[in-house]
Amino acid sequence: MTLRRTEVELAVERDVADADGIVRRFRIVGRYPVEGASPTPEELAPLLRALSEELDRSLPAGTPVVARADRPLSELVETYRPRQPELLDLLLEDHELTDGEFSLLHRYLVERATPAPVEPVPTDRPIAAAPLAQDRTPITPRPVDELLRLYRIESLKQAGAVRAHRQISYEEYMALKRHFGAAETAAAAAPPS
């Protein structure tokens, strides 16, 4: 089934302030039958111009035409469903959008295109993936005795937990590993009592 356009509807609007400052919207609509191919923009331009002139002649004399108030973002998104900034430029050129509406929709598109990065909470990921900004290890390795006393480390497992929290450096952890490795070897070599 092939659909074809049978009618074109053109509308022109003006917002006019009356003597009391109340803004009213006046609108004129023209419906034109279409026979054959859809009309081109060049064919529609004189019809639109004629409608605009007719509306201007029918407005109350001496009432100032005011700029249209910006529509809210929700209405703009629902009406135009913006996807590309280039289309917003065209809508602005065609006076479909005010400068304020253009800015609002453009900001909306930019925010949707670049979602804010979500930084996971450090506890939601492995400790090894914690950022180095939270690394509290000193630049020069501390002696093993100081580490054992400072962090109350009594086993290699506890040393691993302290390293996982980035409180000791890799070099300090390896020194503790050698310390506990030597202690385990000595305990295994000692004769049973």
pLDDT for position 80: 81
Greater model confidence, 44 or 92: 44
Average confidence score pLDDT of the chain: 79
How far is residue 45 CA from its own chain's centroid? 38
pLDDT tens figures, 64-83: 777 677 888 988 888 888 88
How many angstroms separate the most distant Cα atoms in the chain? 116
The token duo for 21 is 């400052």
Q: pLDDT tens digit string along 110-137? A: 888 765 555 555 555 555 555 555 555 5
